Structure 1
Amino acid sequence: MAGVIHIVDDDASFRTAIERRLKKAGYVVATYPSAQHLLDCLPSENELGCILLDVRIPGLSGPELQGRLSEIGSILPIVFLTGYADVQTTVRAIKAGAEDVLTKPVSSEELLAAVERALAHHQLMRGQRNQLEIVRALIAKLTPREREVFELVIRGKTNKQVANALGATERTIKAHRHRVMEKLQVQSLAELVSLAERAGILSSPSGTGQTN
């Protein structure tokens, strides 16, 4: 799986060695001597990729960079590389969303396997993000009244209850509901609820009737 691998490490000789191994395996490689350098030249999410990140870097540390990237919504998977492996660091990094934590020196086999897993995860995440953007774009096409009907229907309200809540007739609500389902390209209430969950309007399948 082709992709761009971003190496962040203050050790120039290590960066060069890893870059050589990855290029030999067919990857495009970008290197950064510090976490700040990567933030200043933020990688595009449009390209399949991942970040190989040293834990202990002068200035902004690896975990701190991980936090910054999370704050700005980056979905680039991070594989940590450390010469000082300890359980606490590993657990903290994985809990914060790291793809893997590898201990230096790392074998080519172990490195490439981790990179492949990270790229596969990025591909999956990008697909999910694209689907989410499509869903939100469809919802944005609803008129204000259709959005009100949508919000009530997905929370289990009947046409009669929606009509009472909005001061309209059931016939009018049925018409609005039909247009909502047409615009959102769904065939059933179950699909409508599922779409609302994906868009973050409903918190979970068991959360019908509640807002986030």
Structure 2
Amino acid sequence: MTPAHAVERESELSPAPATPVVLIVDDDVSVRESLEAMIHFTGLRAETYACAHDFLQRPCVRVPSCLVLDVMLPDLSGLDLQNLIAAQRTDTPIIFITGYGNVPMTVRAMKAGAVEFLTKPFDDQVLLDAIRHAIERSRVALSEEAGMQSIRDRYASLSRREREVMALVVSGLLNKQVGAELGISEMTVKVHRRHVMRKMDARSLAELVNVAGRLHPGRAPA
């Protein structure tokens, strides 16, 4: 296979990175259309919704994204929507826009994790900068979640005994002590420990301890 064909083949096998999407929820059609056009001009995708209910019907899609959200909506306020989706859409940072902002409203939104709170009319560049920042935060969150899912999948591949051995090893016990704790020989512990290290893709005990801490912050896996 020639180098050119190899590159061509690799591009066929490697999926193209997903285009980030900006989700816009505003009951003013002129605002939606204006923001959509501006966002498309930057090379990003935009999806628009007239109310919170319409937005909530959208399934979660794991691509870098952010939500440009009006505070005043006809069915559910932007602040209430923020609270509603806080746990389910942590990888979709929120940028609030409003024509009726005040200090308590801004403080509430920012304390709940909003990236920015802009009062209409706002400068387009300020919004675009906020969108870029939010998209990057989303990208990082998705990458971290993918890493955690990989760790959870590897942990799920361990047998019950391997999980027991892992928990005792990362707690600091020596192989002999692990064997005494579980009623098995030190040699058997070593075999299980090798399997744990391989399945968890850990090259050292320190790496295994780190992985265990990410799986179960504050305690060893059981």
Q: Classify 1:58/1:132 alpha carbon distance in 2 versus 1 (closer, same or farther; 3 Å).
A: same
Q: Deviation string for 1:154-198 (max 9, x for gaps)?
A: 222332332222111222112211210111111111100111122
Matched, 1:22 2:39: yes
Query: By how many angstroms is 1:148 displaced?
Result: 0.9
Aligned to 2:106: 90
Q: How does 1:150-169 map to 2 (within 5 A)?
A: 150-169=166-185
Residue 96 of structure 2 corresponds to 80
Alignment of 1:126-165 (within 5 A): 126-165=142-181
**Which amino acid in 1 is paired with 2:197?**
M
CA displacement at 1:100 relative to structure 2: 1.8
**CA separation in 1, counterparts of 2:25 and 2:209?**
42
Larger Rg: 2
What is the letter of the counterpart of residue 176 of structure 1?
H
1:3 Cα deviation (Å)? 2.0
Q: Which runs of 5+ in 1 are unaligned?
A: none
TM-score scaled by length of structure 1: 0.88
Label 1:210 to 1:188 Cα distance change in 2 as closer, same or farther (>3 A): closer
Match of 2:24 in 1: 7
Contact 2:52–2:76, Cα closer than 8 Å, also in 1: yes
The verdict on how the C-alpha distance between 1:63 and 1:160 changes in structure 2, with shifts beyond 3 A counting, is farther
Distance in 2 separating the partners of 1:8 and 1:152: 50
Compute the TM-score of the two structures, normalised by the length of structure 2. Answer: 0.84
Aligned residues between the structures: 205
Partner-residue secondary structure (3-state), 1:182: helix
Runs of 4+ in 1 over 3 A off after TM superposition: 209-212
> Equivalent residue of 2:140, what SS?
helix
SS at match of 1:7: strand
- Contact kept, 8 Å, 2:168 with 2:178, in 1: the verdict is yes
Alignment map for 1:50-199 (pairs within 5 Å): 50-199=66-215
One-letter amino acid of the structure 1 residue matched with residue 67 of structure 2: I
Partner of 1:42: helix, strand, or coil?
coil
SS of residue in 1 equivalent to 2:155: helix
Greater shift in the superposed pair: 12-21 or 102-111:
12-21
From the superposition, tell whether residues 211 and 64 of structure 1 become closer, same or farther in structure 2 (CA, over 3 Å): farther
Counterpart CA distance in 1 for 2:139 and 2:192 is 37
